[in-house]
């Protein structure tokens, strides 16, 4: 838990978000600035700054499982989607609470910029 961390505050429901899935350990909510018709963030409720700071990697598997479940729920699983974890400066990470982006609902370019 981190008092002033944005995503900790969303996990504690101090800041509103459109939650699309939740369990004991994780929350999935819509990105406030969507880059695709479906853009959902999956976070652990416990604070971890980035993938580089994870020490117990089972949480990452659970995040992937929730992303796959939300993709089915959102109706994008068959057409396809992308999951991304931007990590530290070169990865383009701006919020330092671990999160997985689930992007879909349109054809996505590769490679990223």
Tokens, residue 45:
């409720």
- Residues numbered 51 to 90 that lie near Zn ion (CB under 5 A) are none
Which residues 14-53 are close enough to bind ligand 5GP by CB under 6 A? 17, 29-33, 41
Please indicate whether residue 99 is annotated as part of the active site: yes
97 contact, one of Zn ion, ligand 5GP, none, CB 5-8 Å limit per kind: Zn ion
Strand segments (E) across the chain: 19-22, 26-30, 38-44, 81-84, 100-104
Contact status: 92 vs ligand 5GP (CB under 6 A):
yes
Q: Examine residue 97 and tell whether it contacts Zn ion (CB under 5 A).
A: yes
Show the CA angle centred on residue 36, arms to residues 98 and 54, nearest 5°. Answer: 10
Kindly name the residue from 25, 39, 47, 99 that is annotated as catalytic.
99
CA distances from 66 to 53, 94, 110, 113 (A): 20, 22, 24, 27
Q: Where is 9: in which H helix or E strand?
A: helix 6-11
Q: Indicate the residue among 41 and 42 with the shorter CB distance to ligand 5GP.
A: 41
For position 94 contacting ligand 5GP by CB under 6 A, the verdict is: yes
Q: Where does this chain bind ligand 5GP (CB under 6 A)? A: 6, 17, 29-33, 41, 86, 92-95
């Amino acid at each position: 838990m981190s008092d002033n961390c944005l995503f900790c505050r969303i996990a504690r429901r101090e800041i509103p978000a459109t939650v699309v899935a939740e369990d004991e350990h994780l929350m999935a909510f819509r990105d406030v600035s969507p880059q695709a018709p479906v853009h959902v963030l999956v976070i652990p409720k416990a604070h971890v700054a980035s993938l580089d700071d994870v020490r117990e990697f089972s949480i990452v598997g659970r995040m992937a499982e929730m992303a796959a479940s939300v993709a089915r729920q959102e109706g994008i699983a068959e057409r396809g989607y992308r999951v991304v974890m931007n990590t530290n400066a070169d990865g383009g990470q701006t919020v330092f609470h671990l999160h997985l982006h689930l992007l879909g609902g349109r054809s996505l370019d590769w490679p990223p910029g």
